[in-house]
Each structure stands twice: as structure tokens, then as C-alpha cells.
């Protein structure tokens, strides 16, 4: 596969769910077993294909569990009942008949005893080996066949697939928990840092001989950045506004939740996004989002900007950087599958010896979506937010990949500088004094932060700050 193959990350994950039962259950449960929760965007992943393969892998594991129960419990029970029937089911008082019944019972008991001691462990072991060989074959087929990965597995419920198709193209993200206690951007990866700048917009500058401030609002600034920032030499940047809403308070956003027990919409009218941008709440806020995927959709960078013009002419600007690391080692398990059939058999035997048998089903997974919706009572507070992001949970540590880490930092610095420069240009065009903001912009650019929230109005660091042991002097920091 070429690095820029858009299906590269999808194929790795689709193959991984066949080799990792826990991952298959997690993916299937996140989508198939959630009747009313939202689904986080999974950047660069074909979720329809992934869910199809996860459902297929989970069904295969359940079939293996059913056969194992048949071998280890049902058949011994039948033999036991047969032995009891032979012993007590005879009629008459003839001693010859009784002797025949006891002999038959003795033979059945011996058969049961030998089956329990010898046949059951051997059959269960062979079942596990055959199951692993089948999973390896499925995983290799996903990587080697040059067709859409979604076409290599059976489809799931059509309504669920339509939801998945709309998630990545949607403009609304509903996250789990109240706004003050959750990370709205968890679906985009690891939080690299947040900066905050406040500026008094009542101070006029002198542009073209005029000192008259030209009025503007948050939407004007967002529109300007959306038009000017993408003019970059680094290609692949996608810009759009997104609404982030707390799952507990999702019903408070008009039209977001179609009904009790139904999942929230993934797309809201632009008018609602603009209204919330101008009037943010504690549970819903609109961000201008810059996204870029690289390395076959394995790396992702998300940069978010939000402007808020307060009534006292104070402009509040927030910048958030989030990175999606490459796929973790469990997602690349297919690279360790031997190509030779004998080597593959030996590997399956070794893996069977290492891992104990575990049931591969949950009672929750057997209940239909309609049944779970009916259990929701009117008036009960429901968290409609996505509980987890499949892509974020399977990601590796970005620092484990040097090239990826450097590339993400390079693009982040370029994008961040471009955003700040265009904010300055916007303020100049509206005759706002930019001297204070330019000073703060340099402080943002010269300080690479790792997971900290700081107000650059208070930063007085000197030079570049880089690395895990870096410090920002005299800064107000929060976790």
C-alpha cells in the first residue's frame, strides 16, 4: 500500500478487529449497542467498513463460543442423561435385563468419563486453533484484496450505516458529560494545548489616515479566517465551523435531539451555529475548525479557534491544538501474521497456548435497539454524548513516532502563525490598535506548550520553550 492510500488506516483497523476480540467488541458496542448516544468523528477511518468487520468478527467469536458450549456442556449433559436413562429406565425384574442395563450404563459412563477427560480439552483446543486460523485469513484478505474494505463484510442495519456516513461530514459534535467537566475535543486525539488572548477593541489604530473603528462581530472574524488561512503551501487543510455540545444538555439546543431515546443529529443549520457563536453558553460553543490528515489518514491535526466579543468591547480569542497520533501497535497486528500456511498454523497453536478461553459475548449485545429504546422512561436525564472515540482509543503515543511528532509540530507552528497573522490583519482592516495583540501573538508562537492552558496576557517567557521539561515563566496555568 502506498502511504497516501486513503484506505490505509481503515484496512489496518478492519484487519485488527479480526485478530483482537476486545477491539471488535469495543467497536461494535460503541456503535451497534448505543441506541441514543452520538458517535465521535473518526478522522480518516471508514466507519461503515470498520463496523461491518467488527460485527462480523464479533459474530464469529460468538459462534465459536456457542460451539465451545456445545462441546463442553451440552454433549456431556446428553451423555450423562443417557447413562442415567440406561440405569433407571429398564422395565421388569429379570436379573438378565438388570445386568444388561448395568452393563449399558457402565459403558455409557466410561464413554462420558473418557470424553470429559480427553475429548473435551482436545476439541476445545482444536476449535480455538481453527478460529485463530480463520481470523488470520480474514485479516490478511482485508489487506491484500484491492477492493473497498466495506465490500468484504456483510452490511449492518441501514439506519446505522447512514448515521456513520453523516458523522464525519457533520458540523455538530455531542460529547459525554457537562461542558465544564469533559474534554469536547477527545474525538480528535490528544490535547496539545490551549492559548487565550484578550484584547481591548475600543482602542483605535490609524489605518489609511482614519482612526474610526469599523464595527465587527465574532462571525465576521470567523469568516475572515476561513477565507484567508487555507492559503497555505501545505495542502490538505479542511476548514469548517463546528458546534460542540454537552451530551447532558443536548436537548436544550433547539432541534438537535429529534426525540427521547433517539440519537442527536450530526448536522445543524448554519444559523444555529452562528447564533451560538455570538451567544455561547456553558454547554454549547461554536469553533472554527482546521483539520488535516496525512500518512494515509493515520495522522491528524485539528486546530480550533473561537472568538467572543464581550459587551465591554473586549475581544476574547481561544486557540486549541489537538493531534491524532498514528495507529497503535494492536492495530498493526496483521503485519505479524505469517504468510506461509505451516508458520501460520504454528503461530495459531502458540497463541492458543498463551491465552485462556474467554466467552466472547455480552448480554447487552443480544438485546435489540428497539428493546433498549423502550427501556428509556420519559423525564429521565439522558447523556446523549459519545462515550468514546474508537480512533482515539486505538492511537499510539505521538512521542513514540519521531517523524510523526516533528511533522505535527511543524504544521502546527505554521498553521498557528498563519492564524495569528490573519487575526492581526483583520483587526487592522477594522482600525483596531493591534500593538498589544501582536505582542501576545509572538508569545504564543515562541512557546510550545504541552497540554497546558495559559493566558498569554501574563506570559513573560524568553526564547523558545520546547519539550516535556519546558516551563513558561510567570504564566497562569491550568491542567
Write out pLDDT tens, residues 250-261: 989 999 998 777
Structural domain contains residue 391: no
Write out pLDDT tens, residues 28-41: 888 887 778 888 88
pLDDT at site 222:
95
Write out pLDDT tens, residues 93-130: 444 444 555 555 566 666 667 767 777 888 888 898 89
130 in the same domain as 218: no
Q: Which domain holds residue 135?
A: 8-158+330-374
Q: Inform me whether the pLDDT recorded for 241 exceeds 90.
A: yes
Structural domain contains residue 382: no
Write out pLDDT tens, residues 122-139: 888 889 889 999 999 999
422 in the same domain as 298: yes
Residue where a domain terminates, one of 359, 374, 389: 374
199 in the same domain as 146: no
pLDDT at site 56:
93
pLDDT at site 174:
92
Q: Inform me whether the pLDDT recorded for 418 exceeds 70.
A: yes
Q: Which of 78-92, 115-129, 390-404, 428-442 has the lowest mean pLDDT?
A: 78-92
272 in the same domain as 226: yes
279 in the same domain as 137: no
Q: Inform me whether the pLDDT recorded for 207 exceeds 90.
A: no
Q: Phi/psi at 210 (nearest 5 deg)?
A: -115, 145
309 in the same domain as 348: no
Structural domain contains residue 411: yes
15 in the same domain as 118: yes
Structural domain contains residue 109: yes
Query: How does residue 236 score in pLDDT terms, banded at 50, 70 and 90?
Result: confident
The share of the chain scoring above pLDDT 90, in percent, equals 22
Kindly state the average pLDDT of the residues 318-324.
Answer: 89
Total domain count, the chain? 2
Write out pLDDT tens, residues 437-478: 888 887 777 665 444 444 444 433 333 332 333 333 333 333
Q: Inform me whether the pLDDT recorded for 189 exceeds 70.
A: yes
Q: Which of 64-73, 147-156, 240-249, 399-408 has the lowest mean pLDDT?
A: 399-408
207 in the same domain as 136: no
pLDDT at site 100:
54
Structural domain contains residue 141: yes
Q: Inform me whether the pLDDT recorded for 191 exceeds 50.
A: yes
Kindly state the average pLDDT of the residues 354-377.
Answer: 49
Write out pLDDT tens, residues 29-75: 888 877 788 888 887 788 899 999 999 999 999 899 889 888 888 77
Write out pLDDT tens, residues 146-184: 788 888 898 888 888 888 888 888 899 999 876 555 778
Structural domain contains residue 181: no
Q: Which of 19-28, 208-217, 278-287 has the lowest mean pLDDT?
A: 208-217
pLDDT at site 295:
62
Q: Inform me whether the pLDDT recorded for 306 exceeds 90.
A: yes
140 in the same domain as 27: yes
Question: Mean pLDDT over all residues of the chain?
Answer: 77
Query: How does residue 347 score in pLDDT terms, banded at 50, 70 and 90?
Result: confident
Kindly state the average pLDDT of the residues 365-379.
Answer: 49
Structural domain contains residue 365: yes
pLDDT at site 180:
54
251 in the same domain as 282: yes
220 in the same domain as 138: no
440 in the same domain as 360: no
pLDDT at site 181:
56
Amino acid at each position: 500500500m502506498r502511504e497516501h492510500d486513503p484506505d490505509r488506516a481503515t484496512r489496518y483497523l478492519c484487519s485488527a478487529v479480526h485478530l483482537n476480540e476486545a477491539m471488535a467488541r469495543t467497536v461494535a458496542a460503541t456503535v451497534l449497542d448505543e441506541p441514543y448516544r452520538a458517535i465521535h468523528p473518526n478522522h480518516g477511518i471508514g466507519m461503515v467498513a470498520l463496523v461491518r468487520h467488527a460485527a462480523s468478527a464479533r459474530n464469529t467469536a460468538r459462534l465459536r463460543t456457542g460451539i465451545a458450549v456445545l462441546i463442553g456442556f451440552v454433549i456431556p449433559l446428553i451423555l450423562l442423561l443417557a447413562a442415567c436413562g440406561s440405569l433407571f429406565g429398564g422395565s421388569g425384574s429379570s436379573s438378565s435385563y438388570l445386568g444388561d442395563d448395568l452393563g449399558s450404563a457402565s459403558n455409557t459412563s466410561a464413554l462420558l468419563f473418557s470424553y470429559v477427560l480427553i475429548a473435551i480439552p482436545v476439541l476445545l483446543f482444536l476449535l480455538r486453533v481453527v478460529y485463530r486460523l480463520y481470523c488470520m485469513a480474514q485479516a490478511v484478505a482485508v489487506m491484500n484484496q484491492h477492493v473497498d474494505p466495506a465490500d468484504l463484510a456483510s452490511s449492518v442495519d441501514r439506519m446505522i450505516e447512514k448515521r456513520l456516513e453523516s458523522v464525519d461530514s457533520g458540523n455538530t459534535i455531542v460529547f459525554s458529560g457537562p461542558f465544564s467537566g469533559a474534554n469536547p475535543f477527545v474525538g480528535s486525539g490528544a490535547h496539545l494545548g490551549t492559548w487565550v488572548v484578550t484584547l481591548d477593541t475600543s482602542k483605535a489604530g490609524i489605518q489609511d489616515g482614519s482612526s474610526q473603528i469599523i464595527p465587527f462581530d465574532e462571525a465576521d472574524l470567523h469568516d475572515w479566517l476561513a477565507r484567508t488561512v487555507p492559503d497555505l503551501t501545505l495542502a490538505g487543510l479542511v476548514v469548517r465551523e463546528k458546534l460542540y455540545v454537552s451530551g447532558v444538555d443536548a436537548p436544550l439546543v433547539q432541534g438537535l435531539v429529534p426525540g427521547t431515546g433517539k440519537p442527536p443529529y450530526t448536522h445543524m443549520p448554519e444559523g444555529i451555529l452562528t447564533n451560538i457563536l455570538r451567544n455561547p453558553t456553558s454547554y454549547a460553543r461554536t469553533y472554527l475548525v482546521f483539520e488535516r490528515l496525512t500518512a494515509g489518514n493515520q495522522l491528524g491535526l485539528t486546530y480550533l479557534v473561537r472568538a467572543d466579543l464581550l459587551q465591554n468591547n473586549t475581544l476574547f480569542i481561544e486557540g486549541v491544538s489537538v493531534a491524532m497520533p498514528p495507529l497503535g501497535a494492536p492495530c498493526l497486528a496483521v503485519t505479524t501474521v505469517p504468510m506461509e500456511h505451516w508458520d501460520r498454523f504454528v503461530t495459531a497453536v502458540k497463541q492458543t497456548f498463551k491465552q485462556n478461553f474467554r466467552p466472547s459475548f455480552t448480554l447487552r449485545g443480544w438485546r435489540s435497539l428497539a428493546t433498549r429504546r423502550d427501556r428509556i422512561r420519559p423525564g429521565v436525564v439522558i447523556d446523549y454524548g459519545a462515550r468514546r472515540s474508537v480512533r482515539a482509543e486505538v492511537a499510539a503515543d505521538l512521542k513514540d513516532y519521531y517523524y510523526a511528532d516533528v511533522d505535527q509540530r511543524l504544521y502546527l507552528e505554521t498553521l498557528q502563525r498563519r492564524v495569528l497573522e490573519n487575526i492581526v490583519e483583520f483587526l487592522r482592516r477594522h482600525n483596531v490598535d493591534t500593538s498589544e495583540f501582536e505582542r501576545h501573538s509572538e508569545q504564543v508562537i515562541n512557546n510550545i506548550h504541552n497540554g497546558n492552558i495559559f493566558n498569554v496576557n501574563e506570559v513573560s517567557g524568553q526564547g523558545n520553550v520546547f519539550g516535556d521539561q519546558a516551563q513558561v515563566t510567570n504564566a497562569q496555568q491550568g491542567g
